[in-house]
Structure 1
Amino acid sequence: MKGNRVSVIGAGAFGTALALAFRQAGREVTLWGRDAEAMAALDAGRDLGALFPGASLPTGIRATADLSEAVLAGILVMAVPTQALRQVSEAVALVLPQGRAVISAAKGMEQRTGAFATEILAETLGAHRFGILSGPSFAADIARGLPTAIALAMADATDAEALARFLSSPGLRLYHTTDIRGVEIGGAAKNVLAIAAGIVAGLGLGDSARAAMITRGFAELQRFARAYGARPETLMGLSGLGDLVLTASSPQSRNYALGLALGQGRTPREAIGSGKLAEGAFTAAILAESAKARGLEMPIVDAVTAILEERLSVGDAVRHLMARPLRGE
Structure 2
Amino acid sequence: MKILIIGGGAFGTAVGSQLAYNSLNEIYLFQRSSSRYEELMKEHTNHTYFPNKKLNPALKSVIDYKYINQFTVIMIALPTKFIAGELEKIKPYLKKDVLIVNLSKGILNNNKTIVELIREVLSVDNVVSLKGASFASEMIDSAPTLLTLGYDYKEQYNVITSIIKNTNIYIDYTTDIRGVELLSALKNIYAIFLGYVDGQYNSANTRFMVLTKCFAEIKIILKGLGGREESLLLSAGFGDLGLTALNDLSRNRTLGLLIGKGFFNSDFTNHSVVLEGIKTLNMIDEAMPDLLKKRLPIFMRMANFFISPSENKMDIVFDELMENNYKTVLTYGTFDLFHYGHVEILRRAKSLGDRLVVGLSTDEFNLLKGKKCEFSFEKRKRMLESIEYVDLVIPESEWEQKVDDVTKNNVDIFVMGDDWRGKFDFLSEYCQVHYFERTEGISTTKLKSILKD
Question: Secondary structure at 2:93's aligned position in 1?
Answer: coil
**CA offset digits 1:1-24 (Å, max 9, x no partner):** xxx111111011001001011112
The corresponding residue for 1:22 is 19
Of 324, 327, 331, 1:327 maps to 324
Q: Distance in 2 between matches of 1:207 and 1:313?
A: 27
Q: Distance in 1 between matches of 2:184 and 2:88?
A: 23
Deviates more, 1:21-30 or 1:284-293: 284-293
Matched, 1:38 2:28: no
Instruction: Assess, with a 3 A threshold, how the Cα gap between structure 1 residues 232 and 195 changes in structure 2: closer, same or farther.
Output: same
The corresponding residue for 1:195 is 192
TM-score (norm 2): 0.66
Q: Distance in 1 between matches of 2:213 and 2:132?
A: 20
Q: Distance in 2 between matches of 1:311 and 1:68?
A: 48
The corresponding residue for 1:52 is 50
Instruction: Measure how far apart 1:212 and its partner are.
Output: 2.0
**CA offset digits 1:151-199 (Å, max 9, x no partner):** 1111113322432332344311122321101211221111111111112
Larger of the two Rg values belongs to structure: 2
Question: Secondary structure at 1:203's aligned position in 2?
Answer: helix
Question: Secondary structure at 1:220's aligned position in 2?
Answer: helix
Deviates more, 1:175-184 or 1:187-196: 175-184
The corresponding residue for 1:138 is 135
Instruction: Assess, with a 3 A threshold, how the Cα gap between structure 1 residues 210 and 59 changes in structure 2: closer, same or farther.
Output: same
The answer for unaligned runs of 5 or more in structure 1 is none
The corresponding residue for 2:237 is 240
Structure with greater contact order relative to length (CA < 8 Å, sep ≥ 6): 1
Instruction: Assess, with a 3 A threshold, how the Cα gap between structure 1 residues 261 and 191 changes in structure 2: closer, same or farther.
Output: same
Instruction: Measure how far apart 1:209 and its partner are.
Output: 2.4
Instruction: Assess, with a 3 A threshold, how the Cα gap between structure 1 residues 238 and 180 changes in structure 2: closer, same or farther.
Output: same
Q: Distance in 1 between matches of 2:267 and 2:68?
A: 36
Question: Secondary structure at 1:63's aligned position in 2?
Answer: strand
Matched, 1:288 2:285: yes
Instruction: Measure how far apart 1:205 and its partner are.
Output: 4.6
Taking the TM superposition and a 5 Å limit, the aligned residue runs for 1:187-266 are 187-264=184-261, 265-266=263-264
Instruction: Measure how far apart 1:237 and its partner are.
Output: 1.5
**What letter is aligned with 2:102?**
S
The corresponding residue for 1:150 is 147
Of 44, 53, 66, 1:68 maps to 66
The corresponding residue for 1:98 is 96
The corresponding residue for 2:80 is 82
The answer for unaligned runs of 5 or more in structure 2 is 327-453
Query: Number of paired residues?
Result: 323
**CA offset digits 1:198-235 (Å, max 9, x no partner):** 12223245332222222111111111222344333321
Q: Distance in 2 between matches of 1:294 and 1:152?
A: 32
Instruction: Assess, with a 3 A threshold, how the Cα gap between structure 1 residues 259 and 172 changes in structure 2: closer, same or farther.
Output: same
Equivalent residues of 2:68, 2:93 under 8 A apart = no
**What letter is aligned with 1:30?**
Y
**CA offset digits 1:92-147 (Å, max 9, x no partner):** 2232232111111122211x342111111011111240111111111011111011
Equivalent residues of 1:160, 1:177 under 8 A apart = no
